A and B are shown apart, each in its own frame.
Chain A
Amino acid sequence: MNVIECRQLSKSYYRKRALQDLSFSIREHTITGVIGRNGAGKTTLMKIIAGFYRPSSGEVTVFGERPFNSLKVSQNMIYIDDQMPLPTSLTLLDILHMAGRFYPNWDHDLATRMLNYFSLHPEGRHHQLSKGQRSTFHAIVGLAARCPLTIFDEPTTGMDSSIRKDFYRALLKEYLSHPRTILLSSHLLNELEDLLEDVLLIHQGKLLFHMPIDELREYAVSITGPEKLVERVTADREIYHQQHTGSNVYTTVVRRDASILEAARQHGLETAPVSPEDICVYVTKQTKGRIDDVFNRNQP
């Protein structure tokens, strides 16, 4: 069963197009990573799914309903990001109690144990938390709510690496014990690799691909060897990335298939897998030249 369906979804603000013709569907009980560069449209997409924004054109359905103004979607969905204006008049524990009133599957015991584990004081106030603590607290709310659709928009903002790891582990455990559909946006794909089942890559408001992470691991191959030889083997193929890795040693990343592997083997070229993170970086490259060029003004 599909929990989310988008058909030709577009969104523009004034004249700027934030999303353009996105069509995809998300199956029930999957963890999907919404990946993209800064400003790619990840947040806009997820906020439309959450029913906060209205699509400019196209259609989106969540649990079979249009999410905008849907009480059913709101009841079964929680959206977690670092911008949650929680009341300053309530203690953290009060806020957890309050969340429990709204979400029928709320696990209060889990919430308080996590609060304790992450050393957040139950009598503390939301506005007194540091950036990382705030993200941790929001993540606790998101996990304990046990909503059939849980959306985390950059949930690890400000968390240190140890807390990030704990969060990913808690997320996985919660998901296994209480399966639900999870959308998780991030630009740190390598950290999420073991967690995600599917990857939805957005670039400049367009959907580049939506595929299982296992498929993405097999998506591309890097071929290394003498420049001329590498160029000959990879001619007439789409090149995702290329760079000199030594004197007369050249590395090129192309789509992986049987024929390219065979050709590389015949020419004695080295082949290596390309990590999903690297593929995403290569296909969404939008900078001109390299960062080094910024500092080297003599170069045109």
Chain B
Amino acid sequence: MMSLTETSLKRVIWNQYVYKLIALNGMFTSLMATQLAAFALSLSGTGGTTTGYGDITIKVKYFSGDIIFYFTLIWAFMAGMSITIKAYRDADFIFVTNRWTSHLSNIALLLTESLFAGLTSPLLGNLLKLVAYWGNPGNVLGVMAPPPGSLLMNILVTTGYAALLSCLGYLTGMLAQVNKLLAFVVPCVLFGSLFLQGSDGIVVDVIRFYAAEASVWIFCLKAALTLAIVYPVIMLMSDSMEVRR
């Protein structure tokens, strides 16, 4: 006699989360590859000027983690989008799940990846400055000493942006899954607004809402609230989606 077993939502989410962390470990590899590529690109300087006065030429080069940061964000967007593809969604439903546990474990995975990206990106940025310093002996006038606590702030902000971008990627991917037409319409509307309305457009306003925030803590709050609104909307939107078709 085989009796029915009961399970809890928490347990299923945890199992799915562990399953995805292990099965989708390629995400972490791709993050590292992205960051290393960005690191290599940054080695020759992320900006600079050359000025000449007669025989004297002054070359100014800046080294910053900006490229690493932006590459990390692009990766975060792609990571969010990639787990919405059919093969990954179907893979959840090989084992125990329903649509909610599938989403919640995806969200947990994306947040974990964002934290990982948020930790590695500023650290790699700092490493870049050290390499630039050591790699140009005698030529470096100075390394801007980071103010105390700035690394922590950097980690918070990068994690926040990575979480936002992966959420945006997840939203985009899910919209495309719900309706193929949306996969075409949404980018058109976004880029259309960006080009036609310019800096007055809603897209720029949205970016400004986060990017112009001076306080790290308020930015984190804004990011957390955004996630707390967008993810449940995605879950409701795709609640009746069929799987393993």
Contact = CB atoms under 8 A, between A and B. Distances in A.
Interface of A: 47, 50-54, 63, 68-72, 74-76, 79, 83-87, 89-90, 94, 98-99, 101-105, 146, 148, 178-180
Contacts of A148: 2-4
Contacts of B243: 52
B123 interface: no
Nearest to B1: A179
B240 to A, nearest CB: 6
A70 B1 contact: no
Nearest to B95: A102
Interface in B152-210: none
A89 B94 contact: no
Interface string B91-122: 10111111111000000000000000000000
B103 to A, nearest CB: 11
A146 B2 contact: yes
Interface residues on B, range: 35 or more
A104 B244 contact: no
A132 B189 CA distance: 47
24 contacts: A53-B245, A54-B240, A68-B240, A69-B98, A71-B7, A71-B98, A75-B5, A75-B12, A79-B244, A85-B87, A85-B88, A85-B90, A86-B91, A87-B24, A89-B25, A90-B23, A98-B19, A98-B23, A98-B95, A103-B96, A104-B7, A148-B4, A178-B2, A179-B1
Task: With a 10 A CB-CB cut-off, give which of B95, B96, B97, B244 has the most chain A CB atoms.
Answer: B96
B6 to A, nearest CB: 7
B9 interface: yes
B126 interface: no
A105 B5 contact: yes
B92 to A, nearest CB: 10
Nearest to A101: B15
Contacts of B91: 85-87
B96 A105 contact: no
B242 A53 contact: yes
B18 interface: yes
Task: With a 10 A CB-CB cut-off, give which of A68, A75, A76 has the most chain B CB atoms.
Answer: A75
A179 B18 contact: no
A72 B94 contact: no
Given A85-B91, A101-B15, A180-B2, A71 B96 contact: yes
A89 B4 contact: no
A101 B244 contact: no
A27 B100 CA distance: 30
B213 interface: no
B137 interface: no
Contacts of A105: 2, 5
Interface string B222-245: 000000000000000001101111
Contacts of B101: 71
Contact of A86 (B94, B96, B245): B94
B15 A47 contact: no
Contact of A72 (B4, B90, B99): B4
B242 A54 contact: yes
A99 B94 CA distance: 9
A47 B22 CA distance: 27
Nearest to A103: B96
Contacts of B9: 71
A84 B98 contact: no
In the A-B complex, list the 7 residue pairs whose CB atoms are closest, starting with the nearest: A87-B23, A102-B95, A85-B87, A102-B96, A69-B98, A104-B5, A52-B244
A99 B22 CA distance: 13
A94 B23 CA distance: 10
Contacts of B240: 54, 68
B47 interface: no
A83 B99 CA distance: 19
B6 A72 contact: yes
A94 B22 contact: yes
Given A52-B93, A75-B7, A90 B242 contact: no
B18 to A, nearest CB: 7
A90 B1 CA distance: 33
